[in-house]
Amino acid sequence: MAVAQRKTDIGPPDFKQFLHPLIKKNYGTWKYHEILEPGVMVHVAESGDRIYTVRAGTPRLLSIESIRTFAGLADTYTGGYLRWTSRHNVEFLLDDPAKIGPLKKELHELGYPVGGTGNGISSIVHTQGWVHCHSSASDASGVVKAVMDELYGHFTHMDLPAKLRVAYACCLNMCGAVHCSDIAILGVHTKAPTINHGDLPKMCEVPTLVASCPTGAIRPASVDGKQSVEVEEEQCMFCGNCYTVCPAMQINNAETDGISIWVGGKVSNARTEPKFSKLAIPFLPNNPPRWPEVVEAVVNIVNVYAKHARKHERMGEWIERIGWPRFFELTGIPFTKYHIDDFKHAGETFKRSTHLKHTR
């Protein structure tokens, strides 16, 4: 009997069918580009052809209604060609510079800001949070929205010393490159998991669960005659890895979950090597709907950086030049024992010289 063949493993569609004709024609032969104004670029090919890009910020979470709106804009202004960036911005690709103004006007009226280029802030790369994640210590979209409302001017204007890349992750799993951002906002759990001994034997493999703990804090135990585990709470660093492998290890806690702030990371190799973000603020309260403490902390760091950094100096490069003592002094952020690393190879993060400025 003939059955319709079920299609599998076809992979993604070939990108070439989605390329603007000018891009197809000049593929691999681009000569240079210019940022004409915030959010608007021109790329010039060896052939002399010019492709214009209009970049707009989006909330990452998009309804199909909005995607259809973008598709409609593309039909009107670009012959139907558009793309997204690695930071959730939508980009419209135009061959006619006369259409840039009208497209910008429509995007503005729809509430999608044009910008995100050059020495400013691009969209915040972020995770799911309470919209769809089980292990999130906080929401993601809400914090990002509240922070970007305040940093909006740095998206629409290129008014910072260098690029400033902000990222948000709602737990230590860090979906996305949060750990190498100029400013990373990170949801944290601060209490050991609550064990549901009734569900655990039904839902989880004890050996896998025990092995999941990076500090060996989880041990097999018999509870009311049933196979379960116990947690040595003093060894727990609240990573939530046990919860990921076993739903009976509830790590989320409405009272004690919060948000931490990290600074000075980058992925680009420009000037200095890529670097991790380092802890600036270990804990801020989880305060929906607009997280005022987090917003204030991020805005403060951005303002101090904007005032003191030299041109082309990324957050981490600026801090390395002035030194961490002065970073804490200028930002007014209290330095605590939590800032001192106590995980693997912690000694490498200690100051091992007398190169000190003694200005405090």
Partner 1 sequence: MEKKELKTPLLDELEKGPWPSFVREIKKSAEKNPMARDTLGQLERSYEDRISHWKHGGLVGVMGYGGGVIGRYSDLPEEFPEVAAFHTYRVNQPSGWFYTSEALRTICDIWEKHGSGLTNMHGSTGDIILLGSKTEALEPCFADLTEAGWDLGGSGSDVRTPSCCVGPARCEWACYDTLEACYDITQSYQDELHRPMFPYKYKFKFAGCPNDCVAAIARSDMSIIGTWKDAIQIDQEKVREYASDGVDIEAEVVDLCPTGCIAWDGQKITIDNSECVKCMHCINVMPKALAPGKERGATILIGAKAPIVGGALLSSVFVPFIEMKPPFEEIKELAEAIWDVWGEYGKNRERVGEFIQRVGLGNFLEEIGLEPVPEMIAHPRTNPYIFFDEELEEDEDEE
Cβ closest to partner 1, residue 163 vs residue 305: 163
192 binds partner 1 (CB under 8 A): no
157 binds partner 1 (CB under 8 A): no
209 binds partner 1 (CB under 8 A): no
Phi, psi of 316 (to 5 degrees): -70, -35
191 binds partner 1 (CB under 8 A): no
Cβ closest to partner 1, residue 107 vs residue 281: 107
User: Which listed residue (30, 283, 324, 335) binds partner 1 by CB under 8 A?
Assistant: 30
Number of residues that bind partner 1 (CB under 8 A): 115
117 binds partner 1 (CB under 8 A): no
Tell the smallest beta-carbon distance from residue 233 to partner 1 (Å).
19
**Do residues 315 and 309 make contact, with C-beta atoms less than 8 angstroms apart?**
yes
347: left (phi over 0), alpha (psi -120 to 50) or beta: alpha
Subset of 313-342 contacting partner 1 (CB under 8 A): none
Residue type, 321: R
User: Which listed residue (21, 25, 71, 336) binds partner 1 by CB under 8 A?
Assistant: 71
210 binds partner 1 (CB under 8 A): no
206 binds partner 1 (CB under 8 A): no
Considering only 94-102, 173-181, 228-236, 328-336, which stretch makes contact with partner 1 by CB under 8 A? Answer: 173-181
309 binds partner 1 (CB under 8 A): no
Phi, psi of 315 (to 5 degrees): -50, -50
**Do residues 118 and 154 make contact, with C-beta atoms less than 8 angstroms apart?**
no
Measured at the alpha carbon of residue 191, what is the angle toward residues 185 and 196, in degrees to the nearest 5?
Answer: 120
Q: Which two tokens stand for residue 1?
A: 């009997």
Strand 50-56 and strand 90-94: pairing?
antiparallel
Cα 317 from Cα 309, distance rounded (Å): 9
Tell the smallest beta-carbon distance from residue 338 to partner 1 (Å).
16
Cα 11 from Cα 279, distance rounded (Å): 40
Mapped onto helix, strand or coil, the DSSP state of residue 193 is coil
Cα torsion through 187, 191, 192, 196, rounded to 10: -90
Considering only 218-226, 233-241, 299-307, 318-326, which stretch makes contact with partner 1 by CB under 8 A? Answer: 233-241
Cβ closest to partner 1, residue 122 vs residue 228: 122
Distances (CA, A) of 315 to 266, 298, 327: 9, 13, 10
Cβ closest to partner 1, residue 250 vs residue 329: 250
Q: Which two tokens stand for residue 50?
A: 């010019």
Considering only 228-236, 246-254, 328-336, 349-357, which stretch makes contact with partner 1 by CB under 8 A? Answer: 246-254
User: Which listed residue (40, 54, 55, 58) binds partner 1 by CB under 8 A?
Assistant: 58
Cβ closest to partner 1, residue 6 vs residue 337: 6
Binding mask 265-294 for partner 1 (x = CB under 8 A): x-xxxxxx-x-x---------x-xxx----
User: Which listed residue (221, 223, 245, 304) binds partner 1 by CB under 8 A?
Assistant: 245
Phi, psi of 93 (to 5 degrees): -110, 115
CB within 8 A of 215, min separation 6: which ones? 235, 236, 237
Cβ closest to partner 1, residue 15 vs residue 350: 15
Mapped onto helix, strand or coil, the DSSP state of residue 282 is strand
User: Which listed residue (114, 116, 141, 278) binds partner 1 by CB under 8 A?
Assistant: 141
